[in-house]
Amino acid sequence: MEDQLIPNGPGVTPGALVLPDALSAWAAGVTLVTIADGRDDVGTTVSAFMPVSMDPPLVLVSLAAGSYPAEVVSRPSLPAQRFAVTLLSAAQKVLAGRFAAEGRPSARLLLDDVPHIRGGTSGALIPSGGLAALECSVARRVPAGDHLLVIASVIGVTYVAEAGDPLIRFRGRYPVL
């Protein structure tokens, strides 16, 4: 495979075209973040997720700063302080697309034809068929440019699949491993 060269050097800064191309070369696992906000169920596809610490158990999710999910987890009271993260399997590509679409409806509607449960601790909807599902409580919010970094305590592990391939995002697609 031949490399595509994008100009670099003095006077070339990571601009609107160069930086997204460079960052899309980073393969990332795909998750579904779901939140019960007391009025409705909210969800979004997130590929910026990472474990932070095992002791205490902490994870981080990065949400678009102006998004409704970021607004909901920024509220100071429960239930918005809690949410679920499902580590999606390769078989859940369609589900990831549903939750990534602009103007998407309620998470309840998006999961209508998908087996799911409501998390006992978070109250969030958790689809079946992922590689694992975590229930989390917001520990800290850190504004970071056009995103909100949410550091969360893991307060429960709903399930861990015995087998399965992860859903990966690479260069704007979901390739098969």
The identity of residue 132, as a single letter, is: A
Any idea what the Cα angle at residue 50 is, between residues 45 and 56, rounded to 5°? Answer: 125
Domains of the chain: 28-164 (2.30.110.10)
pLDDT at 80 (0 to 100):
66
Could you give the angle at the alpha carbon of 161 between the alpha carbons of 160 and 162, nearest 5°?
Answer: 115
Report residue 35 as tokens.
Answer: 């939140």
Whether residue 9 has pLDDT greater than 90:
no
pLDDT band at 21 (very low <50, low <70, confident <90, very high): confident
Question: What digits encode the pLDDT tens for the residues 46-89?
Answer: 999 999 999 999 999 999 999 999 999 988 776 668 999 999 99
Q: Round to whole Å and give the CA distance between 136 and 33.
A: 10
Q: Are 72 and 98 in contact (CB under 8 A)?
A: no
Please say whether the beta carbons of 171 and 24 come within 8 A.
yes
Q: Are 98 and 110 in contact (CB under 8 A)?
A: yes
**Which residue type, as a one-letter code, is found at position 15?**
G
Query: How long, in residues, is the chain?
Result: 177
Q: Which of 13-17, 39-43, 85-89, 153-157 has the lowest mean pLDDT?
A: 13-17
Residue type at position 74: S
Q: Does residue 8 register a pLDDT over 60?
A: no
Q: In this predicted model, what pLDDT tens digit does every residue of 157-167 receive, in sequence order?
A: 999 999 999 99
Instruction: Give residue 37's pLDDT.
Output: 82
Q: Residue 1: in which H helix or E strand, if any?
A: none
Instruction: Using the structure block, give the residue that is written with the tokens 């999910």.
Output: 69
CA–CA distance, 49 with 76 (Å, rounded to integer): 22
